[in-house]
Structure 1
Amino acid sequence: MISKYWTSPETTGINRLPMLNIEHLEKISLDGIWRFQLLASPTDTSHKKWSKIEVPGLWTMQPHSQIFFDKPIYTN
């Protein structure tokens, strides 16, 4: 006699491929260290030194970029 395995709570699928979330395959992480350069305008051709910033993060809040560093301000 064939058991009724489909009535068992442990059975989650019969003749089914394992589930796969493909959304993570179509994305890349942008986190990490980025090179950053603040210019006066898009047409500025000066060759200033590039800084390194951590992403995610605010470029104005990165303490190692002393040129731009701001302290957080509570504004409620």
Structure 2
Amino acid sequence: MDKSKAFTDWVKRSLVEGNVDGARQNVTITVMDRAKKPVKRIHLSNAWASGWDGPSLEAGANDPATETVTLAYEDIKVESV
């Protein structure tokens, strides 16, 4: 989970303010194994947040609250580490 204010501001700039051009960033997602060793890197060029689904909060539910951010991008490169 990323609790970074910079990430939250980036998503807000894309979705709430509708400033997609100002929000485009190069993004790298690192996939880790169980020992937290990087096994794959996914590089997204000119990415922006194109969707957000908030958690569904139900009274009495024991499930964790999950948020989902959908990213759009112009180019992708996958690198095995």
Bin of the TM-score, shorter chain as denominator length: under 0.3
Question: Which structure has the greater CA radius of gyration?
Answer: 1
The structure in which a higher percent of residues are strand is 2
TM-score (norm 2): 0.26
The structure in which a higher percent of residues are helix is 2
Between 1 and 2, higher relative CO (CA 8 Å, sep ≥ 6) is seen in 2
